Amino acid sequence: MIIFIGLLLILLANSKEVNMGKNLYNELLAEEERVIIHKGTERPFSGKYNNFFKNGTYHCKRCDAPLYRSQDKFSSTCGWPSFDDEIKEKIRKEMDVDGIRTEILCANCGAHLGHIFTGEKLTEKDVRHCVNSLSLKFVEETNATQNEKAYFAGGCFWGVEYHFERKEGVISAISGYMGGTQENPSYQDVCYKNTGHLEVVEVTYNPSKVSYETLAKLFFEIHDPEQANGQGPDIGEQYTSAIFYNNDSEKEIAEKLIEILETKGYTVVTRLMPSDTFWRAEEYHQDYYKKNKSRPYCHVYQKRF
């Protein structure tokens, strides 16, 4: 009888500890629990943090532990948030049940985050933490320098994107369309239906690391600003050289750089237009050269400043 009572007390104590442990964690929705507790995966491109680049810290959705910093997030076009570094000692790595992949978990509470991959050569660190948005909670740094966006059209967006992605201070470069009349145009619409859109690259950058003027200079040095009917072998209105400015300051910087080039003997045909709605291009256009392990055929860097 005494032994029975002792065992009963131990079971009650353990049950109390488990319940207390549960109460320490945030309440999860059914879909969050499927991913975080039962190691599921959200649909690609469905997560709120997939194409998200504000300054701040990404925390565990289950226990609020800090996991990743925004400066380590990059655009991989895989469909899930990607990071090439972690906050020290906050991530636990284990062999996945499939025996092939490496699973990443919150070191504090064991929440499933996703998987880690290497050898893809997507960043200099050559590592990608592929994380479910549902496993994360973003905390914005209100006092930090906010990322800004710039819009450049210099022929085929594949090559423009390629060069901007390699510039220090650039967070992401996304291919898309701007300047036309049709909402959410497709590549076929832009090429064959005279929608008026140009192939544009949206450059998200940290102004504390790289200035708008530096980016605009790079733009003029990776394409031919004197070609009026396209860019290189790509002929057509959608390949027009243009800068879509967000404010008067950007416009003045672009005008100053054009004036400098003209004093050097260049006949610049680049158009300056106020920014409009940016429509992201189809996924097969994103990181085209990276995916195909090739280099631009009509965009070659040439120093002009």
Which residue in the list 60, 106, 156, 298 is annotated as catalytic?
156
d(CA 100, CA 76): 21
Q: Where are the alpha helices (DSSP H) in 186-304?
A: 187-192, 212-221, 248-263, 288-291
By C-alpha distance, which of 207, 191, 176, 187 is closest to 51? 176
In order of their start, the domains of the chain are 30-140 (2.170.150.20), 148-291 (3.30.1060.10)
Q: What percent of the chain has pLDDT over 70?
A: 91
Residues across the chain: 305
| Exposure of 176 in the CB half-sphere (CA atoms within 13 A) | 21
Q: If pLDDT is split at 50, 70 and 90, which confidence band does 144 have? A: low
Please check the confidence at residue 12 and state whether its pLDDT lies above 80. no
Strands, DSSP E only, in 73-118? 73-74, 82-83, 91-95, 102-106, 112-118
Q: If pLDDT is split at 50, 70 and 90, which confidence band does 19 have? A: very low
| 191 phi, psi to nearest 5 deg | -80, -35
Q: If pLDDT is split at 50, 70 and 90, which confidence band does 3 have? A: low
Please check the confidence at residue 159 and state whether its pLDDT lies above 80. yes
Active-site annotation holds for 156: yes
